[in-house]
Amino acid sequence: MRKKLSFITNEHGYFLPFVLFFTTIILLIIIGSINNYHNELTMSHRLHEQIKIETLYQMGLAQFKKDIALIGESDTILWPREFAYQFPYGHVDITFERKGDYLYIAYFIMTDKAVSSSTITNIIPVSELLSLEMSQTNE
């Protein structure tokens, strides 16, 4: 007959706290990993939305500069005060105001299809726009 191990048949209550301790540690590790995974998904989603908004900003700014350069410096009174552009990631509304001879203050409002929006204020020197106009007339 086999001899039974004494620590298996010992009923003094040593193994229950031991098992509970290791079970608690394993459950804490699993719950922590799930929480980290959830946080990574949230951060990835927000980073993706930020990249979309930055892309919309760059595309809207480039199109705005092209449109202003096409209108030209001489027609400043006839300039529209708002531009609206539709891009694959969303819609960009640009409202601007000229203050002085050197600056345009442009307000960009971008809305993504996932209902993310952002407002960005940008100061554009007139010389930058005039250089675009000169380069387009040379082409």
Task: State the pLDDT confidence band at 108, using cuts at 50, 70 and 90.
Answer: confident
5, part of any domain:
no
Rounded CA separation 91/113 (Å):
8
109, part of any domain:
yes
Poorest-pLDDT segment among 3-17, 73-87, 88-102:
3-17
DSSP characters over the chain: -PPPPHHHH--SSSHHHHHHHHHHHHHHHHHHHHHHHHHHHHHHHHHHHHHHHHHHHHHHHHHHHHHHHHH-STTGGG--SEEEEEETTEEEEEEEEEETTTEEEEEEEEEETTS-EEEEEEEEEHHHHHHHHHHHHH-
Rounded CA separation 19/17 (Å):
6
**Number of domains observed in the structure of the chain:** 1
102, part of any domain:
yes
Task: State the pLDDT confidence band at 79, using cuts at 50, 70 and 90.
Answer: low
28, part of any domain:
yes
- Beta carbons of 120 and 57 less than 8 angstroms apart: yes
pLDDT over 90 at 27, yes or no: yes
Residue type, 48: H
77, part of any domain:
yes
pLDDT over 90 at 94, yes or no: no
96, part of any domain:
yes
4, part of any domain:
no
Mean pLDDT of 29-41: 98
Task: State the pLDDT confidence band at 47, using cuts at 50, 70 and 90.
Answer: very high
80, part of any domain:
yes
Tens digit of each residue's pLDDT (9 = 90 or more) over 117-136:
788 877 777 677 666 555 55
**Residue range of the domain that includes 114:** 14-138
For the entire predicted model, the pTM comes to 0.69
